[in-house]
Chains A and B, each alone.
Chain A
Amino acid sequence: MDPLLLGLLVALATIVVLFSGVSVAVGLLIVAAGFLLAFDGPRSLEMLPEIFFADLNSFTILSIPMFIIMGAAIASTRAGADLFEALERWLTRVPGGLVVSNLGACALFAAMSGSSPATCAAIGKMGIPEMQKRGYPDGVAAGAIAAGGTLGILIPPSVTMIVYGIATETSIGRLFLAGIVPGILLMLLFMAWAIYATWASGNTAVLSPRHYSIRERFEILPRVVPFLLVIAGVLYAMYGGVATTSETAAVGAVLCLGMAVVIYRLWRPGAIWGVLRDSTRESVMILFIMAAAGVFSYMMSSLFITQSVAQWIAALDVNRWVLMAVINVFLLVAGFFLPPVAVILMTAPILLPILQAAQFDPYWFAVILTINMEVGLITPPVGLNLFVINSISPDIKLKTILWGSAPFVACMFLAIVILCFVPGLATWLPDLVMGPA
């Protein structure tokens, strides 16, 4: 059979299987095994375990569970609330200080936890009721936290970026750096919209500052500074050439667990088991998808689908920006239904040769892809952050959360457009720190 036609069949089969409600990892294994059996004979199935093993047989993989433990340790403490409170006390003179502190706290928490739903829950639990109490519109309060939480997968350390790095064999250190400036850009766009929307709601009084004494400002710092030092330490270890990504992640995990025990008194065995259980669940789920996606991409390349599709698209000779737009729409649709990790793993082997042929920078694209995946986190039907907000603030209707989040989705699209015109926003920092790629 023509590999292109076969590719179409694989795409259709994958959609059908994944929508049947089977887990994503098993779904990928079913499609891969099915097509190998039908088009390559039963003997090809013998290879599956070895491919599964080979996909996990890398030291870089370790960074995923380690960063997950780091995030879970922080998420199990009051660190999110403290961070939010510290920023609120220090940024109180900034117009719209409360929503600005919330978004800033989201960005910082995201940097420590690397997880979007965890960020939403940690900052939102305290931030949303506080914003409501001071008269911010519900939609702005909920939308800002939902959107702020998505920064978790863009600002380093980000599990999504690690997975992209492994799938495309690009430098994870460089990817992390590429996410920083766009992360800040996105945060500023979110802040601008939140302040404007609050102002436009007519309730301008809430934007005026609230007074905190010098003492109040300083007494909160001891609870927050250690976490900021861990971030600084992790960044130093990675970029100072002291340790690899995985080693840094392991040290970060130990430090965060240690701080959770020392500062937040998380020394009950039950609480520590809770952190380990949650991180085991999350990392096993992600690593299973990674290995299954590896088997899936082995099937695609051994049936010559990957190569044929890449050649076919190169031969179409479309304008590279049209190509970029089409890829983005495709990713956006996939992101509506699937978790970012699954989308990246399934599409990277096909997309990478196409992007290289069209001369797009893989690090710049990682940022575009990640922002695109962030959209899926705050849009129906499976926008996870929306449901997190819904469960921590049951008094805000899901519809209000949805409409409150919509303008922040527009901010993300705006960020993608800005990055298309000014790619340097993503590539400048990695080039500066690590030299040109």
Chain B
Amino acid sequence: MSVPLTAAPARSGGNAFIRAVHAISTLCGWIAAGFTVAALLVTCHMIFVRAVLKQSTIWQTEAVIYLMIAATTIGLPYVQRLRGHVNVDLLPHALPIGARRVLALVTLAATIAVTAVIAWYSYDVWHQAFQRNWKSSTVWAPPLWIPYLALPLGFVLFLLQLLADLIGLITGAEPPFGIKDT
């Protein structure tokens, strides 16, 4: 499983907004990779504490889970920028360029709509967790607004990258669906 081989990473075409968003999305990729490595190290630490020091572990399992959730949502814009979200591109390939453009606009608009909805309600969940000071029901009991923050943050950044893609598509900075062989 991987990216479709015909699609290239999104290009900026000299547009300052797109370039800025691409830089942010790349930073998100670094952060997501950093969270993944952190999850890796915390897991190793947990095994050490349990197996070698023979002590019980309190926070590690939960921290690892939250790190991976954050890595996933914060990683969304970066993977979008690389066109790494796998899709079925048979129809786009089969269509003439004009129709392909229209289809790309429609799918991108739908993607933006659903992402915006999730981003909006994610903020809602985060806000409630923050205001009511929800805590995780474990021994460690961290405040839940911290892990929940990954949702609105990740989806808003994803939305930003999608908007840059939309501008790229409208201005012709990049071909629809990233398909070069027209």
Contacts and interface: CB of A to CB of B under 8 A. Distances in A.
Contacts of A291: 72
Contacts of B111: 22-23, 26, 30
Interface residues of A, number: 66
23 contacts: A21-B107, A22-B87, A23-B87, A23-B111, A25-B85, A26-B110, A33-B117, A48-B118, A49-B151, A50-B125, A53-B69, A53-B147, A53-B148, A62-B43, A65-B36, A117-B1, A243-B47, A250-B40, A280-B33, A280-B36, A280-B71, A280-B75, A282-B1
Interface residues of B, number: 55
Interface stretch (B16-24, B76-84, B166-174): B76-84
A147 B71 CA distance: 33
Interface in A18-48: 18-27, 29-30, 33, 45-46, 48
B44 interface: yes
A341 interface: yes
Contacts of A297: none
A52 B84 contact: no
Contacts of A391: 5
Interface string A52-64: 1100111101100
Contacts of B118: 29, 33, 48-49, 52
Interface of A: 18-27, 29-30, 33, 45-46, 48-50, 52-53, 56-59, 61-62, 65-66, 69, 115-117, 242-243, 246-247, 250-251, 253-254, 273, 276-277, 279-289, 291, 337-342, 381-382, 384, 387, 391
A20 B107 contact: yes
B91 A69 contact: no
A287 B121 contact: no
Nearest to B115: A26
A250 B44 contact: yes
A20 B72 contact: no
A46 B121 contact: yes
Contacts of A49: 118, 121-122, 124-125, 151
Given A279-B36, A284-B78, A339-B86, 18 more contacts: A21-B87, A21-B177, A33-B117, A52-B151, A66-B43, A246-B43, A254-B40, A254-B44, A281-B82, A282-B1, A283-B72, A284-B84, A285-B86, A288-B72, A288-B79, A338-B88, A387-B5, A391-B5
Given A250-B44, A341-B1, A56 B72 contact: yes
A21 B44 contact: no
Interface in B113-153: 114-115, 117-118, 121-122, 124-125, 147-148, 151
Contacts of B40: 66, 69, 250, 253-254
Contacts of B53: none
A281 B36 contact: no
A69 B36 contact: yes
B103 interface: yes
A27 to B, nearest CB: 8
B164 interface: no
A115 B2 CA distance: 10
Interface string B58-101: 00010011001101100110110010111111111000000000
A247 B110 contact: no
A288 B76 contact: yes
A18 B91 CA distance: 10
A22 B72 contact: no
A288 B151 contact: no
A338 B1 CA distance: 9
Nearest to B113: A30
Contacts of B175: none
A202 to B, nearest CB: 35
A62 B151 contact: no
Nearest to B64: A62
Contacts of A21: 87-89, 91-92, 103-104, 107, 177
Contact of A284 (B44, B75, B107, B121): B75
B125 A117 contact: no
A279 B36 CA distance: 9
Contact of B68 (A20, A61, A282, A339): A61
